[in-house]
Amino acid sequence: MMGLVWYAATLAGGFIWLGGSSVASSLTTVEILWGGLAVGTIIPAFVTYLIGCCLSMLEIQTLILSNLLMLYCVAERVPAFMAEVKRRAKRGFAGERLDAVISTILIAVASAFFWPLYTTRMIPSDEHGRVYSGGSCWADLPIHMTIAESFLTGRNQDVSWGDMHSPVFAGEKMYYPFIPDWHAAVMVKLGATMRWGFLAPGELFLLLPFHVLRCSSFRFPGFNRLLACLACFSLSSIALPHMQAS
Amino acid sequence: MCLSFIGLFYSFAVRLTRSRIGAIIGLLLTIGSGGQGGINILMRDGLKRALEQDVIQNDVTGDGKVFWFAFVPHVFLPQRGANFAYPLALLVLTLVWKATDFTSGSMAPGDKRRLLQYAAALAALTPLVQAHTFIGLALIIGTVFVLDAHKWMADLRILGGWIAAGVVAAILGWPQMALFRKHVEKGHGGSFIKQGWIHRNHDFGRDAPGLWGMIPMAGAFFRFWWMSLGPAVPLFFVALAIYAFDSYKGLLLRKKPLTAAGAASTADSASGASTGKATDEDAASGRASGVSSSTSGSALRQRNKGDSDDDSDASADSDDAAAAKKGKNAVGGTFTASGPDVSLAEHLVAVTLAQLPTPLSNVLSGRTPVRYTALDNLLRPANDCSVHGRSLDALKFGVGALLVFLFGNYVNLQPWDRDNCKLFYIWVFIATALVGSLLAAPFEYILGLGASSAGPARVYQAVMVPQRDLLVFNAAVSRPSSGSGSSAKSSAAEHIGVGRRRIAGTVSLIWLLAVPVLMFFACASGFMLFAREYNLYHQLLDEDQIRMGNYIKEHLAPKSVIMHRDIHIMPSSCIAGRPSLVAYTGEWNSLEPQAHSTSPSARPPLFMPVFIIAFLFSSFFFVRCCCRLDVVSRVQLLRPRQGQEVRDGQLPQGQRPRGLQRHEEVGHEVRPRRAPAHPPQAQAAAARGGGRAQGRGKDAAGEGQRLRPSLRP
């Protein structure tokens, strides 16, 4: 559970970090929202990895230090973020409203199609404990599981820069872009399952931006509250049964 | 991340093409990208059979001859690197698109520099996420940098921003890319990266039978890509040609300034990000005079100078003054003025310049302007006088994408050439956006969306309506109407002759009928595989395997090497994370002694953590400084003599800069060169900079307070 909370917090942090940056005024709200999610996924993975390299391990100390560093970076931007929010609230969504609505609809439609795919492929297990996947994920996810597990319980518990070991060819160095799997390992370390470590960066966080959007609709005058609420509730209605089933 | 991708793709495509419908079509083209395999199977065996197999990689022979990866089933679902990297890539491209916006109403150079540095820092995160994305972004941004030379030669501050961005990307990206160096040099028998045309390695690219042979030199190439992507590649070339044609037609108008041209049609008007636009007449007159002035954004400066109701010093930095004015007057504006800002790199340059002879220092530091504006003057109408508003800039992104496409065709970045599809998708994002705008044009024409898109004007352009009339039409439909909307549209359409309007209607109808056909051939296979994906569900690990994995996890040392049979799903690795002796067929690696060691000596040496700490903190502070250190203005680098008044950053003749000096230490009247020249503007700038000042915390706020008195003349 803590893993998911951590991930949600980093997404919110990415949103605040980008929204409080000096380039925020050049971006639309939608871009800040979705760009913040991309930033809030990748940068925390990098920060924890670099701190992990310094301490040569992925342990609780690593996570505490990296989270403190990230917390500082985000807290530093909170005033600027709030100023940006006030500025946009004062200005309203003039000119952005149509694009916000279109992208909301697009994402709602896409999530309706993508959610079943993600939930059934990201290693769900049945009542007997058997693990499933499908399609290309059946072929690709084992190597991602291997790499992530190697950070947690395997050869790469000794975290280092440039000295990580290949889990598939013993004795070789790992020359592979492993940050996404590192991200999953961090989530597992914090208490999430491997399934949620893979699934959450895929689609779970859709609930967060729509929650933000829903809140924004009450804060920002002129925004189409009804549409935002409908999008939020429709997505929730799609997502929650799947979450319970999985 | 897939939802983040969709939101960012839509936003980027709207910015790039000024077409909302085009962005949606582009998204469909991306998600459904695929070739002719599915269509061939559909024709021969029917839909049921087509939905049962991988129609992206198979044709009717079922031999996996088709070269492509479907976006969702093959890339976004299983490849976690793509899942993370592509949204970030789109954010980076959006930032670069904004930073290269020099149309009237665009940002001040300080903001552009900052955008470029942010884009570089974010792009530099991608090598350890997905190296293909980093290479693709580097190729596109590098191309845009080269083709944007006319802009940064006209304003060397922008060149400084590009250089700083390059330094940021190199510092952050190089250590990551260096990790792959050994593997690239020695992996796979020393041939990890191969050169040579990929299509020649595949059946469909070896020869060019039938009509394909009529294409000189490249028949096999186009046949290969027709099977892989259908009409997407030819449509991309057509889109490039149409954007080039639009730019060329705009270029031809450069000697004929318009009275009410479509200068108001900036690319970002569709996305609503650009505000504070000039009126048509103002912008047009600004361009008429601004084309002959020296720097980019001249139209806006001319307008602001003309409109200014104060006695601002004309020699003050006009970009900041314009930005201050813009921010002051903006209604619903999304931009803020940059205020004084200097990056760390510029500080270092300024300290170096202080040691040079004064004339040379003045030239290099920009106090004596050295600007090559002829090229910018020549090319600026290709943007301003195009129906798109930024056709030339969109073309530059298209050329960058084309370079990625050609690079991916010739350089095989890994042993399995299909993995180059990860690189091709960076091309796909731009290509489908451009093609989408093309396919959306007839819809926009019929729906009369001329105010928010270039589609109607593009249809008129296809029937050879003069560019001047199109710009007048664009300006008329985008101008806030005094009467009803329909009357405004009809009055705008009056600029086009009745005969041409009828021809345009016919052309748009034919165009419209062609769109579903093209979409079918471009997307059918992709969506077939997408539908098939819902039916795939396989067991990955059974109960015994899970028990075995847990046993290994609990009882064997973490560095134990497991030998197992030749299959990729093994409990020892998937569940326990133990290294395999050899996991897959085809490659045998000599073991290194430390692979079996569990002794502390196998831990990384001491210098590595030290290096990592140094790298971490230097990167953190460098990026922080480059992106956000906007406390000290450039002029504060210069310390004038006691009692001398310095105006606009111009030192008295013969006096040399003496290095870094904070404002509060100067203690006398200094007017920063890049600061607004009068109190109201200064207060406006301070108010706008409040967000950033707050963001920097107490020190920055104090800095702002200390700055304020010294700004007064």
A137, B77: Cβ pair inside 8 Å?
yes
| Token pair belonging to A225 | 């509250």
Q: Which of B166, B5, B152, B178 is nearest to B77 (CA)?
A: B5
Cα–Cα distance, A32 to B611 (Å, whole number) = 34
Most confident of B311-320, B356-365, B381-390, B509-518: B509-518
B630, A123: Cβ pair inside 8 Å?
no
For residue B280, the one-letter residue type is D
Chain B residues touching residue A103 (CB < 8 angstroms): 6-7, 10-11
A175, B187: Cβ pair inside 8 Å?
yes
pLDDT at B489: 61
| B136 pLDDT above the threshold of 80 | yes
Residue B55 CB coordination number (10 Å): 28
The mean per-residue pLDDT over the stretch B283-308 comes to: 35
pLDDT at B341: 55
pLDDT at B394: 93
ipTM of the complex: 0.86
Chain A residues touching residue B583 (CB < 8 angstroms): 167-169
Per-residue pLDDT band for A204 (boundaries 50, 70, 90) equals low
Measured in angstroms, the CA of B328 and the nearest CA of chain A are apart by: 13
pLDDT at B620: 58
Chain A residues touching residue B270 (CB < 8 angstroms): 99
List pLDDT tens digits, range B137-170: 999 999 999 999 998 888 888 888 899 999 999 9
Through-space distance between the first and last CA atoms of chain B, rounded to whole angstroms: 52
Per-residue pLDDT band for A45 (boundaries 50, 70, 90) equals very high
- pTM of the predicted model, to two decimals? 0.76
Interface test with B, best of A18, A25, A223 (most B CBs within 10 A): A25
Q: Which of B7, B83, B24, B31 is nearest to B444 (CA)?
A: B24
pLDDT at B615: 59
The mean per-residue pLDDT over the stretch B259-281 comes to: 38
Query: For the ranges A96-100, B559-563, B694-698, which has the lowest average pLDDT?
Result: B694-698
**Sign of torsion over alpha carbons B572, B575, B578, B580:** positive
B616, A54: Cβ pair inside 8 Å?
yes
Average pLDDT across chain A, whole number: 81
Cα–Cα distance, B320 to B253 (Å, whole number) = 30
Contact between residue B424 and residue B136 where contact means Cβ atoms under 8 Å apart = no
Tell me the C-alpha to C-alpha distance, in Å, between residue B587 and each of B566, B583, B584.
Answer: 11, 9, 7
| B684 pLDDT above the threshold of 90 | no
Interface test with B, best of A17, A21, A29, A31 (most B CBs within 10 A): A31
Per-residue pLDDT band for B193 (boundaries 50, 70, 90) equals confident
Contact between residue B447 and residue B477 where contact means Cβ atoms under 8 Å apart = no
For residue A49, the one-letter residue type is Y
Q: Which of A30, A32, A31, A39 is nearest to A11 (CA)?
A: A39
| B232 pLDDT above the threshold of 90 | yes
B7, A106: Cβ pair inside 8 Å?
yes
For residue B349, the one-letter residue type is V
Per residue in B108-131, is it b (16+ CB within 10 Å) or e — as a string?
A: bbbbbbbbbbbbbbbbbbbbbbbb
Angle (CA) B125 B175 B139, round 5°: 55
Per-residue pLDDT band for A107 (boundaries 50, 70, 90) equals confident
Per-window interface: B 85-104 vs A, CB < 8 A: 87-88, 91, 94-95, 98
List pLDDT tens digits, range B418-451: 889 999 999 999 999 999 999 999 999 988 887 7
Measured in angstroms, the CA of B316 and the nearest CA of chain A are apart by: 23
| A213 pLDDT above the threshold of 80 | no
A175, B180: Cβ pair inside 8 Å?
yes
Q: Which of B161, B165, B167, B83 is nearest to B129 (CA)?
A: B83
List pLDDT tens digits, range B500-542: 888 989 999 999 999 999 999 999 999 999 888 888 888 888 8
pLDDT at B242: 93
A169, B187: Cβ pair inside 8 Å?
no
Measured in angstroms, the CA of A7 and the nearest CA of chain B are apart by: 13
A20, B180: Cβ pair inside 8 Å?
no
The mean per-residue pLDDT over the stretch B468-484 comes to: 73
Interface test with A, best of B9, B80, B588 (most A CBs within 10 A): B80
A154, B579: Cβ pair inside 8 Å?
yes
Measured in angstroms, the CA of B209 and the nearest CA of chain A are apart by: 33
DSSP conformational letter for A221: T
The larger pLDDT score, comparing residue A15 to residue B609, is at: A15
A114, B84: Cβ pair inside 8 Å?
no
A131: part of which helix (H) or strand (E)? strand A131-133
B580, A111: Cβ pair inside 8 Å?
no
A165 three-class SS: strand
The answer to whether B129 faces chain A, any CB pair under 8 Å, is yes
The larger pLDDT score, comparing residue B16 to residue B478, is at: B16
Cα–Cα distance, B223 to B646 (Å, whole number) = 68
CA of B698: which chain A residue's CA is closest? Answer: A76
Chain A residues touching residue B606 (CB < 8 angstroms): none
Average pLDDT across chain B, whole number: 72
B582: β partners: A169
Query: For the ranges A28-42, A188-202, B270-284, B604-618, which has the lowest average pLDDT?
Result: B270-284
Q: Which of B448, B428, B445 is nearest to B436 (CA)?
A: B428
Per-window interface: B 542-571 vs A, CB < 8 A: 542-543, 546, 553, 558-559, 561, 568-570
B541: β partners: A131
The larger pLDDT score, comparing residue B547 to residue A95, is at: B547
| B355 pLDDT above the threshold of 90 | no
Contact between residue B283 and residue B264 where contact means Cβ atoms under 8 Å apart = yes
Residue that is written with structure tokens 């950033």 in the block: B692
Largest CA distance in chain B: 91
Residue B499 CB coordination number (10 Å): 9
List pLDDT tens digits, range B78-124: 888 888 999 999 999 999 999 998 876 678 888 888 899 999 999 99
CA of A163: which chain B residue's CA is closest? Answer: B604
